Amino acid sequence: MEIIDLDGHGKQSEMYAYICVDESGKSGICAGFTQMGLTPFTSMTRKDMKKWESTVKEMRRETGKEIHLVRYTAAEIIED
């Protein structure tokens, strides 16, 4: 399923996220504080992920952890 939103960007079949990997190999979605509170670094478009690039670069420098931009393409709608 590929549903494009009203603004013409973003497919329901894909999502981008910055993923951090810790020393034990566990991973999770990166997040940071914004005007809206704690916000996960995720989006349905690659273009929107650019806003987090400088923050992620700083996180890498400060923590020394691996942080990767990941594109998920296998979507399953589990709730309508």
pLDDT tens digits for 38-57? 999 999 888 889 999 999 99
Residue 4, pLDDT > 60, answer no
Q: How far apart are CA 18 and CA 55, in angstroms?
A: 11
Q: Which tokens hold the place of 28? A: 């999770």
The confidence band for 16, taking pLDDT boundaries of 50, 70 and 90, is very high
Per-residue pLDDT tens over the stretch 21-43: 988 989 999 999 988 899 999 99
- Of the candidates 25, 26, 6, 29, the one whose C-alpha atom is nearest the C-alpha of residue 16 is 29
Separation in Å, CA 60 to CA 4, 44, 52, 68: 32, 23, 12, 10
- What is the pTM (predicted TM-score) of this model? 0.77
